[in-house]
Amino acid sequence: MNRHSPAGRRYLKRFIPAMVAYLVLIFGASFAFRDPGLSGPLAWAIAVAPALPIVAVIAIMGLYIKEETDEFQRRILIESMLWGFGVTLTVTTVSGFLEMYVHTPGLQSFWAFPIFCLAMGVSQLFVRRRYR
Partner 1 sequence: MKNRLKVLRAERDWSQADLAERLEVSRQTINALETGKYDPSLPLAFRIARLFGQPIEAIFDDGEA
Binding site for partner 1 (CB under 8 A): 2, 4-5, 69-73, 75, 128, 130-132
Report the chain's terminal Cα–Cα distance, integer Å: 16
Q: In the bound complex, what is the minimum distance in angstroms from residue 115's beta carbon to partner 1?
A: 27
Whichever of 101 and 131 has its CB closer to partner 1, that residue is 131
Whichever of 70 and 99 has its CB closer to partner 1, that residue is 70
Whichever of 4 and 34 has its CB closer to partner 1, that residue is 4
Q: In the bound complex, what is the minimum distance in angstroms from residue 71's beta carbon to partner 1?
A: 5
Whichever of 103 and 132 has its CB closer to partner 1, that residue is 132
Phi, psi of 130 (to 5 degrees): -65, -30
Give yes or no for a contact between 80 and 127, defined as CB atoms under 8 angstroms apart. yes
Residues listed for the chain: 132
Give yes or no for a contact between 76 and 45, defined as CB atoms under 8 angstroms apart. no
Q: In the bound complex, what is the minimum distance in angstroms from residue 18's beta carbon to partner 1?
A: 24
Give yes or no for a contact between 77 and 65, defined as CB atoms under 8 angstroms apart. yes
Local structure of residue 103 (DSSP, 8 states): -
Nearest in space to 33 (alpha carbons), one of 15, 22, 45? 45
Q: In the bound complex, what is the minimum distance in angstroms from residue 4's beta carbon to partner 1?
A: 6
